[in-house]
Structures are given as structure tokens and as C-alpha cells.
Amino acid sequence: MDPGIAHNGWRLNTPPDRHDHRGTSEPARGHGHHGGDPSVAATELGLAVAVPAKETPDAPAPADGSGESALTRRLKSLLPWSTDTDPVSTLIRTHRSIHSDADPGIVRHAYETAERMHRGQMRKSGEPFITHPVAVAAILSDLGMDTVTLVAAMLHDTVEDTSYTIAALESDFGPEVALIVDGLTKFDKLFFGEAAEAETLRKLIIAAGRDVRVLVIKLADRLHNMRTLDARSTKSQQRIATATRDVLVPLCDRLGIQVIKRDLEDCILKALSPSGYALITEYLTQREGWDEYLERARSAFTTELKNGRVDCKITVRPRHLYSIWKDTVAGRHSEPHDLPRLVVQVEGDDMDCYAALGIIHGRWRPVPGRFKDFIASPKNNLYRSLHTTVIGPDGRSVEVLIRTHEMHLSAEYGVAVNFRYPQGRAGFGPAARAEQLDWLQRVLDWESAAAEPGQFLASLRCDLSEGQIIVFTSTGRPVLLPSDSTPIDLAYTLSADTGNRCIGSRINGRLVPLSSILADGDSVEIITRDNGADEGGPSEEWLDFVKTPHARLHIGRWFEKRSETVTIANKVRLGRVAVGLALRQHGRGLASDLPLVRLATQLGFPDLETLLVAVADHKVSANTVVDRLIRAVDHSPH
């Protein structure tokens, strides 16, 4: 039997036996036998199965020969003043400095479990594999994430790369950690082929909809991999860096986690343009008098704002390498250049930010066209700040960012700030968190309509495109859309029904064609057909100019439902899509058609195609088919 297929073709995560201590250059996905545990198949299908806790051997002595027992190490981790300098103790101390009531024992236990399971596995760099989950957890500790996140980070590769199962993980660390780790476990290319990457990303987004910490861990995981990218071939470096740039950096930006985004972008620059990276690095090291001027400017601004009775803290904020490269070298400038930049953190509210702006503009002449108000009109990730450039001391241009302390925390940590301050601060609460993730809910709305993984990936990239505009409905509601969007895109963003009934639009009071391109700040009125009207609907021509995947998918769905001639092949495809979507609700997929073929016979259908046509015609429910498949796998003999 194919070692990666068990129980009638269902894909099971069955790595090598946990006692197979390999010395490979990187952890390989295993394909071992799961033994006679009757709960494994059901667990891998995402079913809730009661599994008794397994006995685990005592943790072995540390490789450094210290001779410390697991109990000793755990006791030391409980002491914040411990002199132990191992990486786990360091990240625990960082964690407890932010979350003073955190239980470090569970973090240490997660480390010991991961170290035991990954023992013998090596990274491409030649380091023990355990260094990777520890580094990922350290990044998240610095970010201020909660204990559950750190535990899941320590274990995030165990299910994928070792014999540790989701059932065992849930028994040892609870369902919350198990849910996060399962969301991070990739689909195997052996079974899913070229669709594996897109399906893995789809699974990640769905899991993030249930718990956004899945996505935060993924970003930290990719950051450490990017930091150690030199160990890979040039081709692999470029492939990984390109994928990071196209998908994960935009996701990081949507979550607002700038402390990770900056580091990711610098790593991308190093991998994709080594010459550009070297050029910017050399430019930064050869700037003469830069630090001295910034300190003089900071002192002058501090004095001026103090005299104006604005309580604030001013810090120097250098731009990162990728940002300088993108705005100068990539913008076809002959040489890189940068402006001195200061961040003014005001102790107060929004009005105090505007007061500080007035004082600065009253003392130093502002540069025309360089003022942006992201407080009145926040960015799509809820970034809020005032940006201005003035002719500062010595006649040099100085870029100034003005924000409150809460705005600064949100700008740096994004959605992670809600975990850094779980009790809530001004501006950080359930309502703010929900608003931060509005875009994710929109992605999940159209995700189920994207039958092909490639279509889903293309739609996601479009939704995450850097070019964004904000338009206002006739009621004044702000709506975020990709650049080059049309009134049709806005209509479908408001609702599928509004899009289907759309017959015209007005932009800033003027009647315009539905193919008109919207501009940032436009006021748009959507004219719709009355609800009682029977005729009409979307036009196929709309597909030639709509921008958003949301609109494209709803238009396509409308015509599919109203097609006069639906071929057998189309019904087979629709039936297969329906079964696939029902399977994805359980977090799994089919490795082959064999289970469906067997089920078709059991249900009295002559072949698989007839069963799929019956599903498309709603004669058999897709959920019924999936339930029967799960029961068959759950009770099948091993």
C-alpha cells in the first residue's frame, strides 16, 4: 500500500516512526504506518475523537551535558531572575516582562516535546532543527503574543515533520493549540501536486478566520526562514523570496505588523537584488554627520513643542533598506537618498496631534504636497498618523510622523497589540480587533466560491494588492477597494444582491458608465433595479472590466445558476466542487477518487460521475456524501 495513503485513499499525515532519529539536511515529510490506533484516521479527518493521553518517556538529558533534569529546567524557567541564558529562558523572560501572569512551565514543556520529536533532524544550514521553532517563538515573544501562541509556535512543525499526531498534541496541550498547529500544517505536494501551495494557503486563511494567531505564527515562521535563506540555493532563495513578497508581505501589512514587515522586506531585497541590498547598505554606512543632525533636529523639535505646551516624546525613526531602495533605486533615481525622519508620540488624543502639527508648521515651512492625514482617513490596516515634511534646522528637509502612543503601538504591532494588551487599552478592544479583520472576513466570503486553487490564489493576490482607494457611498460609508475598481466592484462589495440589481451609478453627483474607474475619495451612488423586477441581472460584459475577485465570482455564479444548457461535464465538475468544499469544512481533502467510487456503488449509483451529477442536481447532499465518507474511514479496518 502507498505509505502516504490510508483507509480507502484518504490522505493521512503519517511521518516516520518517532524513534527514527534521522540526520537529514532538512526535515522530510514522513510516510510511516500509524499502527493500530483506531482514532488516528478520524483525527486526521478533523473529527473530535476522545483519545486517552499517551505515556511519554522522560525527556532525555540535554545535549550540552549539563545533566539537568526536566524538573530542574522547569523550575529555573519559573524564576524571572534566573541566570540561565539558553534561548528558551531568554524568550520566557521576554514573555513574562510583557505578560507577568504567564505560566512559563507550559512553554518549557512545549520546547521539551518539540526537541524530543525533532531530535536528529537538521536544517539546511546544518543546525539542529529545534533551533527553528525556538527562533519563531522568540520572534513572537518579542511581539508580545500570548502563551498559547508561543506554545503553538514551538510545536508548529511537529505534526507535519514528525510522528506527533494532532490527537496526541491536543491531549498534551489542549484543543486551542491543536487548532492553531493544524491550521499551520501544509498539504503534501506528493498528493496535491502543483495545487499544494495554493491549497495550503487557502487552509491557512480559513484557519486564520477562526483564529488569527495562525497567520501571525506563519509570518514569524517565514521571517526566520528568510533570515536563514543563505543556506539554500540561489534558485530556492528567489522562489521563496518572490512568494513572500507577493503574498505574505501584503498579509503582514493587512495585519498591520510593521515590525515583521520591515524585516521581511529587507530579507526579500537581499535575496532578489543582492546588488541593490549592497548599494543601500553602503549608502547608509557612508552618510556623514547623519546621526549628529538627527539629534540636533530632535532637540529643536522637542524644545518647540515643549514651548507650545505639547507633552510628547520624539524619537529618531530611520527607514529600512527596502523602503529606501523602492523609493529611489527602483524608482530609477541615479543614487539612493533618504530624508531624516522623526516620530512625535503625543501624550493625549487626536486633537493634541493636530496641535503638534500646527506648532511644527508654524515654526518650520511645510513642503507642499507632502502632508497626509491618516488620522481622519486611516489606511486599510487601520494605521493612523499624521505625515508631513518640513524645511527643518539648517534648511534640510525633515519628515515628521505625529501620533498618540496608542497609535504608535498599533502601527508597530498591528493586530498583535490585542494580544500584547489582552486586558485592553484605549483603542484596543474587541470592536477594534473585529474592524482590523474585516478584510479577512471578506476574503472568506468569496473563498468558498473559488473552485480552483489557482483561481483562489490569483484572487487573493488581487485583494492584497498594494494599490488601494477609499470611496464613499451615498450614505457616507467609507469602502476600501483595489485601485482601478469600478462602480460594479463597489456594488458587489456592498452585497451580491446590490451587484446583481445594479443598473447605473453616479460619481460625485454625475451619471457615469458602470465601467468608469473610481478615484480615491469619490462619492459613489449605486442605482439599482426594484426588488420586484423580474428581468435583468449582471451583464457578461462586466467580466471584462471588474477588478475585485468578489465581483467576478458573484457574476460567474449568477450565470452558472441561470445557464439554459448545463452539460454533464459541468455537472460533474460542480458536484466535485461541492464535495470538495464540504470536505474543506473538516480541514481535509481526498488523495484519490477511490473512496468516492466505493461510496457511489454503496449508494446504488452505477459510477462516480452519476453520483457527482446527483450532487450537482441536489438529489444527494454534498454533506451527506462527506458524512458517509467519514464514517466509512472512521470504522474501516486497518
pLDDT digits (tens, 9 = 90+) for 488-501: 999 998 888 899 89
pLDDT at 531 over 90: no
> Quick check: 568 pLDDT over 50?
yes
Measure the CA–CA gap between 624 and 155, rounded to whole angstroms.
34
Same-domain check for residues 153 and 264: yes
What would the grid cell of residue 241 be?
523570496
- What distance in Å separates the CA atoms of residue 133 and residue 121, rounded to the nearest whole number? 12
pLDDT at 81 exceeding the cut of 70: no
Q: Are residues 247 and 392 in the same domain?
A: no
Above 90 in pLDDT, residue 337? no
Question: Is 29 part of a structural domain of the chain?
Answer: no
| pLDDT grade for 70, boundaries at 50, 70 and 90 | low
**How large a percentage of the chain has pLDDT more than 90?**
43
With beta carbons less than 8 A apart as the criterion, state whether 70 and 58 touch.
yes
Statement: residue 164 has pLDDT above 80: yes
CATH code for the domain in which residue 192 is found:
1.10.3210.10
Residue 560 placed within a domain: no
Residue 427 inside a domain? The answer is: no
Residue 415 falls inside a structural domain: yes
**For residue 301, is it within any domain?**
yes
Q: Last residue of a domain, which of 262, 279, 296?
A: 279
Segment holding 595, helix H or strand E:
helix 594-602
Please determine, for residue 465, whether its predicted confidence score (pLDDT) is greater than 80.
no
Lowest mean pLDDT among 205-209, 244-248, 320-324, 416-420: 205-209
Name the residue type at position 386. L
Nearest to 256 by CA among 406, 436, 457, 27: 436
pLDDT value of residue 67: 44
Confidence of residue 587 (pLDDT cuts 50, 70, 90): low
Residue 31: per-residue pLDDT: 34
**Of 69-73, 207-211, 356-360, 520-524, where does mean pLDDT reach its minimum?**
69-73
In a domain, 396, yes or no: yes
Query: Which residue has better confidence, 320 or 377?
Result: 320
Name the residues annotated as catalytic: 160-161
Cell 499517551 sits on residue: 54
Residue 326: pLDDT over 50: yes
Is a pLDDT exceeding 90 seen at residue 371?
A: yes
Q: Report pLDDT for 620.
A: 87
Pick from 519, 502, 500: nearest CA to 561: 500
**Residue 636 burial (C-beta neighbours within 10 Å; 0-12, 13-18, 19+):** middle
**272 and 297 share one domain:** no
**At which of 366, 401, 422 does a domain end?**
422
**What pLDDT was estimated at residue 562?**
65
Spell 562-585 as b/e; 16+ CB within 10 A means b: eeeeeeeeebbebbbbbbebbbbe
The CATH number of the domain holding residue 474 is 3.10.20.30
Report the pLDDT averaged over residues 593-606.
Answer: 84
Q: What is the mean pLDDT of residues 514-528?
A: 92
Reply yes or no on whether the pLDDT at 60 is more than 60.
no
Give phi and psi for 557, each to the nearest 5.
-65, -40
Nearest residue to 321 (alpha-carbon basis) of 385, 371, 386, 275: 275
Asked, for residue 41, whether it belongs to a domain, the answer is: no
Q: Residue 578's pLDDT is what? A: 82
Q: Containing domain of residue 499, as a range?
A: 467-551
pLDDT at residue 134 greater than cutoff 50: yes
Q: Give the model's confidence band at 7: pLDDT under 50 very low, under 70 low, under 90 confident, else very high.
A: very low
State the helix-helix crossing angle for 166-173 and 147-155, rounded to 10 degrees.
150
Instruction: Give the model's confidence band at 422: pLDDT under 50 very low, under 70 low, under 90 confident, else very high.
Output: confident
Residues 504 and 604 occupy one common structural domain: no
317 and 200 assigned to the same domain: no
Task: Give the DSSP letter string of 178-207.
Answer: HHHHHHHPPPPHHHHGGGHHHHHHHHHHHH
Q: For residue 584, which of 314, 280, 209 has the smallest C-alpha distance?
A: 209
Query: pLDDT band at 423, cuts 50/70/90?
Result: low
Give the CATH number of the domain where residue 396 resides: 3.30.460.10
| Coil, strand or helix at 372 | strand
What whole-number distance in Å separates Cα of residue 603 and Cα of residue 621? 12
CA distance 581 to 153: 28
pLDDT tens readout for residues 425-458: 545 556 656 666 777 776 776 666 555 666 677 7
Q: Do 272 and 296 sit in the same domain of this protein?
A: no
Query: 10 Å Cβ neighbour count for 465?
Result: 13
**Domain co-membership, 101 together with 148:** yes
pLDDT mean over 210-227:
93
Same domain assignment for residues 295 and 177: no
Structural domains of the chain, count: 4
User: Helix %, strand %, coil % for the chain, to 5?
Assistant: 55, 10, 35
Tell me, yes or no, whether 207 and 72 share the same domain.
Answer: yes
| Per-residue confidence band for 418, with pLDDT thresholds at 50, 70 and 90 | confident
Q: Can you give the pLDDT at residue 637?
A: 52
Nearest to 527 by CA among 508, 510, 500, 502: 502
Q: Is residue 25 part of a domain?
A: no
pLDDT of residue 108 exceeding 90, the answer is yes
Same domain, 544 and 400: no
Residue pLDDT, tens place only, 269-282: 999 999 999 999 99
My answer on whether 584 and 524 are in the same domain is no
Give pLDDT, residue 246: 87
What integer pLDDT is reported at residue 497 of this predicted model?
87
Question: What is the pLDDT, as a whole number, of residue 257?
Answer: 93
pLDDT in tens, 536-565: 688 888 988 998 877 887 888 788 776 545
Based on the fold, state whether residues 161 and 254 are members of the same structural domain.
yes
Angle at which helices 549-561 and 438-447 cross, to 10°: 30
Q: Which of 388, 406, 422 is the last residue of a domain?
A: 422
**What does the buried/exposed string (b/e) look like for 367-376 if buried means 16 or more CB atoms within 10 Å of the residue's CB?**
eeeeeeebbe
Give me the DSSP letters along 11-31.
E----S-TT-----SSPPPP-
Q: Quick one: pLDDT at residue 79? A: 44
Cβ contact 521:462 at 8 Å: no
206 vs 442, residue with greater confidence? 206
- pLDDT value, residue 616: 83
481 has which bridge partners?
469
Statement: residue 254 has pLDDT above 90: no
Decide: 132 and 119 in contact? Cβ < 8 Å. Answer: no
